[in-house]
Amino acid sequence: MAHNEADLDRALADAHIPTLMMALVHMTGDASHLTPELRPVYDFFGDGQGGLSPEAQDDIRAKAKAAFQALEGGKPLPPVPSRDTIRKMMDFIAGVDIPERYVPFLMEELALAGVDAKLPVWEGPKAKANAKRLKVLIIGAGMSGILTAIRLQQAGVAFTIIEKNADVGGTWLENTYPGCRVDNPNHLYSFSFEPNHDWPYYFSTQPVLLAYFQRTAEKHGLKKHIRFDTQVQEARFDEAKNLWRVTVRNPDGSTETLEADAVVSAVGQLNQPNIPDIPGADSFSGQAFHTARWPDGLDVTGKRIACIGTGASAFQFVPEVAKAAAHVDVYQRTPPWLGPTPNYHDPVPTGMQWALEHIPFYEKWYRFYLFWTMTDGVLDGVRVEPGYNGPQNAVGEVNAALREMLVMKIAEQLPDDPGLLENVVPQYPFGGKRSVRDNGVWIDALKRDNVDLITAGIDKITPAGVVTADGAEHPADILIYGTGFKASQFLSTYKIIGRNGESLHDHWAGDARAYLGMTVPGFPNFFMIYGPNTNIVVNGSIIFFSECSVRYIVGALELLADQNLATLEVKPTVHDDFNTRVDAANLQMAWGAPQSHSWYKNALGRVSQNWPFLLVDYWEATLKPNPADFVLTPRRETVEAA
């Protein structure tokens, strides 16, 4: 169907030009416009158009328009460019020469042939037949649980999902506070196999994200496999039978034990509220709650609000609450780093949405552009430089230079308020904690007459409000804990008992570890997604990480099926060597530096949350499980038959 020229013109006006240049190659089969003079140069605070002059941008638009119209007129789409040309295009749009090692990884992300590269294809006849015998239990129907279910369904493996909530969506179901939105660009923060051309914002709001995951679950027919309002209490490995017995509490309060060959725990890291133990907290006479338990329909109009914490959640809800509240006190212990993101609240222009949907390969290359510029390309900025002996508010010269630029951007927002400026500039290195996306809304909120940023520590809470260490009393009607989650207490909502009756939590003793974040010796056929050391700080989308983990887990199940195994269990040496490398590497990152304190470190001071390597490292490590890494136990009947 021919498209309206006005739509095309709007799309070209709104288009990301470096991406359009890539689409132009596909539409014409000609890459001659990829000249060194036009190669994008990105700067940290730039407009993302790679520094192209308005004339050059218009020239590309005109060429793209002619090419698109020629296709509409019946000219066939040229074949997908050669690998060499694609390589050249990658380097071009990234604005750097991408190391060769990344090419297969990024080719997969590009998926130019429209192939879902992570689609599980179990080719071996045994794997296919035995797949039918496997039963997998997935815990959690958030982003990772849904993803696991989709992949298992595609592999022909039976599964059940146990979900504590009444619907799918996990964190996007639970966090309904005003202002809640994703802080990763949506065109990246989405399943690689479920692109969405219609994201209304570059960083969409919670209802939009929730609708996306619910729609995806519906589309793949998952709901009939999910037991909602059901809580897992215990997962226990039965050594005699080589299966997991999972005890659940049903919505009617009854308990039931389910059996499964394998368990995939997809319970997330960030859903058990951390409520600090502040003296007098119970005496508060008003409403008090955590951000992840926001009361439905809460009206803050005319109320005095106390907000404890200035992390990612507070950063989003404080500006919203301040619009209606009579007064807001923001209790800050440590300021967050503000990462300039001018389009943080911007809608995606309709022309851009149109381009994503209709211009051939535009959507693929836009995702690729985000992928590169937001991921491994930025990790060096938070790396500890050997021999660095500058101020402790940085971990190296590159990190210090970044710091300087970011401080400058904060200072620009506070030309007349040196007191507030001093309080909002972090004294720890950039990358020490998760930074937040800034478009000026946070500082604007702090500057409001009805908002106070309070940096004196909290001494106690009284029925009437908060008393700070300087003795000041701050009256409040509502107390909001934006104090984060018990992230390092992995899988804390249920017991896991492995071989020899050993509890996983006793085994961890407060220091959760796993091989590739997924498997632990002594816990056969038990896998975690978003497990220990799989969180990413600056480089990339957690959905990408989950997609890699799920490919690996499904690969492990394929190994079980193909070799007719009862169990596979990671070898202690493999697990321990991996963790030694992880620990050493985390110490080389800003978040692992001694002066950095955050939820990335557990109570023992070890970085238990973060992946310290590149994304490409995780991608490579999770392509396929190496059977040599596991103790493989054949099924009993196979042994008996032999």
Question: Which residues here bind ligand NAP, judged by CB under 6 A?
Answer: 182-183, 270, 276, 291, 308-314, 316, 331, 333-334, 434, 458, 482-485, 599
Our CB check for ligand NAP shows the closer of 42 and 177 to be 177
Angle at 632 between CA 258 and CA 248, to 5 degrees: 15
Smallest distance from ligand NAP to CB 634, Å = 42
Tokens of 175: 């966090």
Q: Which residue is nearest to ligand NAP (CB)?
A: 311
Our CB check for ligand NAP shows the closer of 141 and 292 to be 292
Our CB check for ligand NAP shows the closer of 78 and 440 to be 440
Smallest distance from ligand NAP to CB 277, Å = 8
Smallest distance from ligand NAP to CB 461, Å = 11
If one counts every other C-beta atom within 10 angstroms of the C-beta of residue 110, the result is 19
Question: What is residue 212's three-state secondary structure?
Answer: helix
Smallest distance from ligand NAP to CB 85, Å = 36
Our CB check for ligand NAP shows the closer of 13 and 456 to be 456
Give the Å distances, CA to CA, from 308 to 10, 425, 442, 597: 45, 18, 15, 17
Our CB check for ligand NAP shows the closer of 310 and 586 to be 310
Our CB check for ligand NAP shows the closer of 161 and 270 to be 270
Cα separation, 625 vs 26, in Å, equals 36
If one counts every other C-beta atom within 10 angstroms of the C-beta of residue 598, the result is 18
Smallest distance from ligand NAP to CB 388, Å = 24
User: Which residues does 26 contact at the CB level (< 8 Å), separation at least 6?
Assistant: 77, 78, 80, 81, 360, 361
Smallest distance from ligand NAP to CB 246, Å = 28
Our CB check for ligand NAP shows the closer of 19 and 186 to be 186
Smallest distance from ligand NAP to CB 323, Å = 19
Find the helix or strand (DSSP H, E) in which 103 lies.
Answer: helix 102-110
Cα separation, 372 vs 105, in Å, equals 11
Smallest distance from ligand NAP to CB 390, Å = 23
First to last CA, the chain: 63
Our CB check for ligand NAP shows the closer of 333 and 345 to be 333
Our CB check for ligand NAP shows the closer of 148 and 269 to be 269
In 3D space, the residue among 611, 621, 616 whose CA is nearest the CA of residue 101 turns out to be 616
- Provide Rg for the chain, Cα atoms: 26
Smallest distance from ligand NAP to CB 186, Å = 11
Sign of CA dihedral 283, 286, 291, 296: positive
Contact 508, 291 (CB under 8 A): no
If one counts every other C-beta atom within 10 angstroms of the C-beta of residue 427, the result is 12
